[in-house]
Amino acid sequence: MRNWIVAGNWKMHNTTGESIALAQAIKEGTKDIKNGEVIIAPPFTSLFSVGAAIKGTQVSLAAQNMHHEDKGAFTGEIAPGMLKDVGCTYVIIGHSERRKYFHESDEDVNLKVKKALAVGLKPILCVGETEDERVKGVTQSIIDTQIKKALSGVENIDNVVIAYEPVWAIGTGKVATSAQAEEVHHFIRGILKELYGAVSKDIRILYGGSVTKDNISELIGMENIDGALVGGASLKPDAFLGIINQITGKK
Ligand code: PGA
């Protein structure tokens, strides 16, 4: 049985004070959760304070990105060890906004996934097709390439979480139907089975893209959807906790 995950990606939102207040509300509201994991990914500037605020609770800390080198002359970048130092256990890698606005390639994503695993951070690897690619009918080949390139040279995927995030559904209010999402999740599990055999059934695959408390219950009802990576709806305690409450008891 796979434990569910709800991860909140705060993107470029929240000052330190706002971050601590939101983290505290989430901590309070998730005290009694069972068989699931709640993860929050504040901006870099809030990681330290949020890490301190949620220390010892059931809420885990994630970063939204990292560099693949341990240290060096990379102005403006953050090293994996720095993330561990402030209490991160997860790191989001290859988010479509990183790929689109910061030109991250599948090769960059692969370097980051390998480095995260090497230092003991769990990567939340994001993949997803654009609207154009879906219309052209190449969704599966895009996903296949993204996953295989990202995991190239990765021997053990026990600590990897995959997030399927169709680019056309992110921040648009256009959520994938549960059937559309399940089709891709099932396809991803097939790729993992081909690459890693039996362990593939234990790997969590999250859906992301316009998830709210009103659409999560149908998505979470699908066999291969193990949780959600949430953007907009992770910024308000009620909206985020509402999603978690919908999942509790369903998985
Ligand atoms: P959204 O973002 O929930 O605002 O669509 C999801 C994400 O980018 O992870």
CATH number at residue 240: 3.20.20.70
Helix intervals (H) in 120-162 = 131-135, 139-150
Task: Report the pLDDT averaged over residues 48-53.
Answer: 98
The answer for residues whose C-beta is within 8 angstroms of residue 235's C-beta and 6 or more apart is 8, 10, 13, 14, 22
What pTM does this model have? 0.97
Ligand 1 atom having least distance to the Cα of 9: 9
* Residue 150 pLDDT: 98
Task: Report the pLDDT averaged over residues 226-240.
Answer: 98
Pick the catalytic residue from 95, 104, 129, 185. Answer: 95
Structure tokens at 15: 């000052």
Query: Residue 231 above 90 pLDDT?
Result: yes
CA gap 234, 120 in Å, rounded:
25
For ligand 1, the distance from its centroid to the CA atom of residue 197, given in whole angstroms, is: 30
Alpha-carbon distances of 92 from 7, 11, 118, 137, 194, rounded to whole Å: 10, 11, 15, 27, 24
For ligand 1, the distance from its centroid to the CA atom of residue 18, given in whole angstroms, is: 19
Query: Residue 35 above 90 pLDDT?
Result: no
* Residue 169 pLDDT: 96
Task: Check if 107 is active-site.
Answer: no
pLDDT, tens digit (0-9, with 9 covering 90-100), for 153-193:
999 999 999 999 999 999 999 999 999 999 999 999 999 99
Give the closest residue (by CA) to ligand 1 atom 7: 231
Ligand 1 atom having least distance to the Cα of 170: 5
Percentage with pLDDT > 90 across the chain: 96
Give the closest residue (by CA) to ligand 1 atom 6: 231
Task: Report the pLDDT averaged over residues 43-66.
Answer: 97
For ligand 1, the distance from its centroid to the CA atom of residue 239, given in whole angstroms, is: 13
Residue from 10, 125, 162, 210 to probe ligand 1 pocket by mutation (most atoms less than 8 Å from CB): 210
* Residue 1 pLDDT: 74
pLDDT, tens digit (0-9, with 9 covering 90-100), for 197-225:
999 999 999 999 999 999 999 999 999 99
* Residue 34 pLDDT: 84
* Residue 250 pLDDT: 73
Query: Residue 110 above 80 pLDDT?
Result: yes
How many Cβ atoms from other residues are within 10 Å of residue 148's Cβ?
14
Domain extent, residue 14, equals 4-248
Query: Residue 80 above 90 pLDDT?
Result: yes
For ligand 1, the distance from its centroid to the CA atom of residue 99, given in whole angstroms, is: 14
Write down the residue that tokens 């219950």 correspond to.
Answer: 217
Task: Report the pLDDT averaged over residues 142-146.
Answer: 98
Number of domains in the chain: 1
* Residue 3 pLDDT: 94
Task: Report the pLDDT averaged over residues 58-85.
Answer: 98
For ligand 1, the distance from its centroid to the CA atom of residue 230, given in whole angstroms, is: 5
Query: Residue 251 above 80 pLDDT?
Result: no
Ligand 1 surroundings by CB, under 6 angstroms = 9, 165, 170-171, 208-211, 229-233
Ligand 1 atom having least distance to the Cα of 233: 3
Ligand 1 atom having least distance to the Cα of 163: 9
Task: Report the pLDDT averaged over residues 67-92.
Answer: 98
* Residue 47 pLDDT: 98
Q: Which one-letter DSSP state was computed for residue 89?
A: E
How many Cβ atoms from other residues are within 10 Å of residue 91's Cβ?
26
Banded model confidence at residue 68, pLDDT cuts 50, 70, 90: very high
